[in-house]
Chain A
Amino acid sequence: MKSVRIAGGLGFYGDSWRPIRASIERGNVQYVASDHLAELTLAILQKDRLRDANLGYTRDLVPMLLDLLPLALPRGIKFVLNAGGLNPLAARGALLNALKKAGIKLNIGVVLGDSVLERLDDLQAAGVSLAHMDTGEEIERVREKLLFASAYLGARPIVEALDAGADIVLTGRVADAALFLAPMVHELGWKWDEWDKLAQGIVVGHLLECSGQATGGNFGGDWRSIPDLAHIGYPIAEVWENGEALITKAPGTGGRVNFDTLREQLLYEVHDPAHYLTPDVDVDMTTLRMEEVGPDQVRVTGARGRPAPQTLKIVAGYDDGVMGQAMIGYAWPDALAKARAAAEIILEQMREIGLQAEETLVEYIGYNSIHGPLADERHVEDLNEVYLRIAVRCADRQEAAKLGRLFPPLALSGPPFIGGAGGMLEPRGLLGIWPTLAPRELIEEYIRVSVEES
């Protein structure tokens, strides 16, 4: 029976591509599919693009491919990446230049049409409310502050590019798992109404889209039992025509693939496991089976699919103020009490200088900065050290920066025994996320696919 082998690439912009080398060299794969886009990433890319119209894609694309292509080309391996971000054409331009310089000839496909920021008026005119899909709030409050709006596309346009001979496909926003489903549909000839096969394909894509999280990274069980995370292998899938799949990793790599590491990733961020909605299929994971069939080998079968939804999800981002933050550390004895006294000083001085903050957060690193109000208070009396961190949400950078300037005087005029007082951090722009839905035909009529040779 025909099968295809696909390697998981990056899990986010900033992830390491070193483990992909092992998958290419020793994983016997035909494709690498790589996810570079989180919700926050598009805001970063929008800032890049506003500064320079030739940017707006994830800039790891060119160095990553220049590193991997010498290994991948002799093996005929193809790439599917959403590194196009908000500007897939500019991403292709940059890649074409780099490949020409390197003397590499390849066909590069792009998928366009996910960015709908300029078409929001048209969508509203067509009767789409663009209301927040979780809260139902109307979009007017944030409409003028929107920085980007991108629809999650499915696998079809990527398949179109592969069918047209693309060796590398660059997309903007697509459902992460669609990056993986596309090569399966292209190679195995699945039809768009073979829901159970498509569901298996999405499950495999979801298992592979977060790099090391499928192979023992961020493992919430017995993390000490996972070997050699320094050389973790990223996940690899073999998928057969009938939809059955085997998840594994390259021989000689660290990490682990077993029932436990995979079930953690399978349910990661899926909400209702009986209805994992993607543009290509509504996936039911509650019928799925995972069996360990060998060392670092798990067979995945039995996902069920229902027809694809009539709407596509759009995620828009809007300017939501600026965060100012600062930190200072206090030593034993009474470290937490000192940090609390310092917080009182700062909060009082914030009031006196009239610092305009829409929200103020006080955290004690070493005590409650991660679990917040759920932190266990039974062990706080004798801590070796505690850092005070204060963060504020302000309307602009100038206002946010006022917080940091209140901290240095604490060194000489606050409670004793400090360390790490250089904690004045640059104010950082904050991004509100606006998820909404639109009828798919209103989005899909604008999808364009093109393939160009380097």
Chain B
Amino acid sequence: MDQTATRIANASAIAAGEPVLEVKNLTTEFPMRTHTLKAVDNVSFTLRYGRTLCVVGESGSGKSVTARSILQIVDRPGRITEGEILFHQHLTSKGLEGAGTIDLAQLPPRSPAIRAIRGRDIAMIFQEPMSSLSPVHTIGSQIIEAIRLHDGAAKKEARERAIELLRSVEIPNPEHAIDRYPFEYSGGMRQRAMIAMALSCSPSVLIADEPTTALDVTTQAEILDLMRDLQEKFGMALMFITHDMGVVAEIADEVVVMRHGKLVERGSVEDIFHQPQHDYTKRLLGAVLELDEPSPKRLEMRARKPLGPPIVRLKGLEKKFFMSKGLFTKRQDPIVAVGGVDLTLYEGENLGIVGESGSGKTTLGRCIVRVHEPTGGEIHYRRANGKEVEVLTLGKSGLQDIRREMRMVFQDPFGSLNPRMTVQQIIGEPLVCNGETNARVIRDRVAELLEMVGLPTQTMERYPHAFSGGQRQRIGVARSIALDPRLIIADEATSALDVSLRTQVLDLLLDLQERLELSFIFISHDISVIRYFCDRIAVMYRGRVVETGDTLEVCDNPQHAYTKALLSAVPRPDPRRRKMHQRHRYHEPAA
């Protein structure tokens, strides 16, 4: 396309590394009921042509607010109180004659001046690809609108450019894909479409706010790959916000580490990863690197105490979801969430189940405790007295007995605790439901459990919203061990937590395993967590287990093609070992 060609020619006229956007001493405040919260506190950095700046930090560190401040789209009542955001318009490829440096911080948030810059010069991609695309318009019409709004191009020309853009973000068959609706796209395709839209006016600066967080690892790898290719092609400056150090190592040129709204450290990706200066950066990296290796505590525990006999055996476990038959609709084919899974868990073992979203791993976990009724197969559970029972044939009271021994820890630390109950009521609930009536006994037991999970006992009168995510997850763990279980099924128990908290929670679980002789089924999409915590791993793909084996063996020498693709897509927290380009891709063999 001509446009693209001109664009590339223009871009190459500007030397890579030229500063295009400078943020100086930026402070953004949110007035609260009692005090003012400085969400961004005196932050400075520079975005350069053809370079990627990664802003990294844990949740609540002010990364997103920084990005939003640049475009003046901070949620009310937040506002920029100090600092400059210098945008060097004369240095951009669109640099008009006479255009100079603009201080974006001075522009009113609703002024036409800032509106002209948004999208045209500085574009943004958001985390949630579903909610940032309009569901009632086709992908094409949304991109075309963006092009016409800023460039005033004719309809036909805009459409051609939109197709060109979709092709450049590697959407297959763009001539047809352009007339599809967002719901017809997969998550990764939607994010590609978002990127296409952001690129529609060939911006000089692209801000990506956690664009891959909601995606699976393999999709994430594709998107990261794509973004780097596009940057090489178009030469724009990229500001990439993420909490994942692996992603940072993979794509960053420069890194800004943020914490509590303050800039902690700034430097090249090499320096940050190999010579971190600040303690916090070291800690952050430490947590990531720690997760890269198996837990030493676990290895030591296994060496001391060998695994016992099988505690759970799954035989051909199957779960189909039948779409409800409406009055006027035809019966549809059932969806096979879990299709014939055979697995064995030994006593004292941690079995990891890994897979991408939709692989059926959560359903599998829930079938074992019969939250979902399996539609076929067998679950054999060996009780403490050595007698084996078939869980699927149990009646109500038998099932309740089993559920005392098999407990669950949930993913969402917010949704899994009843907001209307105090911590004491939440943790005491399993005791109450299993016939404990003495309030004093319950209180003492709850205090003991809180102590075990490392929370102060005086917190038991509090409601869950007073706790942070990590603390809530501890409460969830305390609830699950209240009845002295033998098996815990942890469904993505650490996924909602920041990296530094993940190791803490995993160590807590290992600690409890030692004290209470537990076995774990640990469901996760995160290979590093599994490698740290699990002895054995089962890889799930489309409802089936494609590979099982010792964690290290599978991680180092995967046999199945899908496992290879999955493992090679995981970004490594080491900028010297970038490998996205050499990754495997898995295409399901035609049936």
Is this pair of chains taken from one and the same complex? no
A-side residues, CB < 8 A to B, are: none
